[in-house]
Amino acid sequence: MTYMINKIEANASKSIQTITKTDANNLNTKITKQKEMLKSIANQITKDNDINEEKIFDLYERSDITSNFIRMGIMYENGYTITNDGYEVDYSEEKDNFFSSSRIGLSENRESKINGEEINIYSKVVEINKEKVAILLIVDTDSYKDIFSNQIFEGEGFSYIVNKDGNIVVNGNEKFDTKKIMDIIQSNIGQKIKIVDIDGSKYYIAREDIGINNWSIVSFIQSKIIAGEINKALLITFILVIAVILVILSISGYILVINMKKRKNYSSAEKEIEKNMKKALKNNEFVVYYQPKIYAKTEKIYGSEALVRWKKDNKIIMPNIFIPIFEKNKFILKLDLYIFEKVCMDMKEWKEKYGIDIIISVNVSREHFTEKNFINKYVQIASNYGIDTNKIDLEITESATIDSRINIAKIMEEIKKYGFLISIDDFGTGYSSLSILHDMPIDILKIDKSFVDQIGKKDNIIENILSIAKKFKLKTIAEGVETKNQKDYLTKEGCDILQGYYCSKPLSKAEFEKFINEKN
């Protein structure tokens, strides 16, 4: 009997160590990936001889790293810091922490000076116009807590990230007094696993180094959970010895299965966005910005892409913050139609005021395609404002064309029946580009910015796309064009239309009207 008890305890101890080690490895991978993201964006900044705050923020907002961070900041040597979402923060008292090293730094958790939430800050010092600044990428501390296997052992397990001195960096549990927990951790800092007493209850404590910042993960599992499993094993032993073996195996399987489950918690920021989205729509807080598109050869205006911004309390919230949430909760269906109606209102006004009838592209989220006859709503709105549908370009991402839930070819045929233009956004980043061109009635290919960035390195990719487009008699638009070298290359290779900061940044309605008049 004693042998079986010892076996179960040893098995539980081993499982706790395995879980803690897995958490440590997962956190190492996450932090390493986020450091590489900062390194990449810092390299792009230092290579641009004409870089400025606006371009830095645009570089961040147009990249795919925004899903990993809640905001970007630029800190100057006096500690004055500005963020991409319009905040100004004073870090003067601790500026030396950010400028003391040329290596990428990662802070311990701290309270945000913007909204009081717990955050961690990645930092990298770069030189801009002969002045040192620190590029900051801010992560919600809760995103680290999500890595912890807190649901193991009937929810009785909890974890902390601690530094080399045993001080808590990330608090994974608010149940116990923080100082008391730190005293326990510091008293057992050299132990891999041990049983400790907390408020009269016994806990297994396991520690594993993360391998970054001299941090470790320390996990606590209440011993009564293990004792409960032992009692079950003892009861079954009186019936049949073989059952004990099955119980041991089931405990191991139970631990491993539960450990693989991921918690699905909205962050407080997501909850705040969902709380305010309907009110924001009603109060017209969502505004349209227009990024011009110009003909490559003449640099005359071709049209524009309509982009959405959320203007709340005189601050601009960028779409990378709220669009993924709206796609998840389907609010994007309402927002897309709201923006489309605003665009139609503006197009009518421009035609009446300036006599200008240009092509405006709007993004259509794939969520619409699961709705029967969704295009009828677009047709009705355009008709209400007297807008010719052949002046409206509906942008569909290439990834949407390979969604198994929808018959995209049939949907495109329906769109074309009403006269809309169709463009494929992010062309070349999906997996079925040639079948799209062969089977679907599209008008325009948008060459993804990632290919434009490679001009001078892997030009043949764009050459191939342009060659294919010509064979299918499609217009081509290159997005993310930022330099004259890129413009000259694309023009030489036969790209029809350009979009990006070389042409113009996204403009408010008033700014875009001025741009229209200057270009015509």
As a whole number of angstroms, the distance between CA 69 and CA 31 comes to 12
Looking at the structure, tell me whether residues 275 and 129 fall in a common domain: no
Q: Mutual orientation of helices 375-384 and 408-417 as an angle, nearest 10°?
A: 20
131-141: pLDDT as tens digits: 899 999 999 88
Q: Domain boundary at 143, 164, 188, which?
A: 143
Residue 116 lies in a domain: yes
Q: What is the pLDDT of residue 432?
A: 47
Residue 289 lies in a domain: yes
The enclosing domain of 35 has a CATH number of 3.30.450.20
Whether pLDDT at 151 is above 70: no
The enclosing domain of 345 has a CATH number of 3.20.20.450
Q: What is the pLDDT of residue 161?
A: 85
**pTM value?**
0.53
Beta-bridged to residue 123, according to DSSP, are: 105, 136
**DSSP 8-state assignment for residue 507:** B
| 207 vs 376, higher pLDDT | 376
Whether pLDDT at 87 is above 80: yes
**Phi/psi at 221 (5° precision):** -130, 125
Q: Domain boundary at 143, 174, 192, which?
A: 143
Whether pLDDT at 436 is above 50: yes
Q: What is the pLDDT of residue 306?
A: 94
Q: Domain boundary at 86, 116, 143, which?
A: 143
Among candidate residues 297, 395, 391, the one with its CA nearest the CA of residue 347? 391
Range of the domain at 428: 268-519
281-300: pLDDT as tens digits: 999 999 999 999 999 999 99
Residue 223 lies in a domain: no
Residue 201 lies in a domain: no
Looking at the structure, tell me whether residues 131 and 278 fall in a common domain: no
Residue 13 lies in a domain: no
Looking at the structure, tell me whether residues 355 and 502 fall in a common domain: yes
Amino acid at 193: I
Residue 80 lies in a domain: yes
Residue 279 lies in a domain: yes
Go through 76-85 and write b for each residue having 16 or more CB atoms within 10 A of its CB, e for each that does not: beebebbbbb
**DSSP 8-state assignment for residue 398:** G
Q: What is the pLDDT of residue 382?
A: 94
Residue 509 lies in a domain: yes
Band of pLDDT at residue 506, cut at 50, 70 and 90: very high
Band of pLDDT at residue 194, cut at 50, 70 and 90: low
293-343: pLDDT as tens digits: 999 999 999 999 999 999 888 888 888 888 888 888 889 999 999 999 999
Q: How many domains does the chain have?
A: 2
Looking at the structure, tell me whether residues 277 and 139 fall in a common domain: no
**DSSP 8-state assignment for residue 166:** S
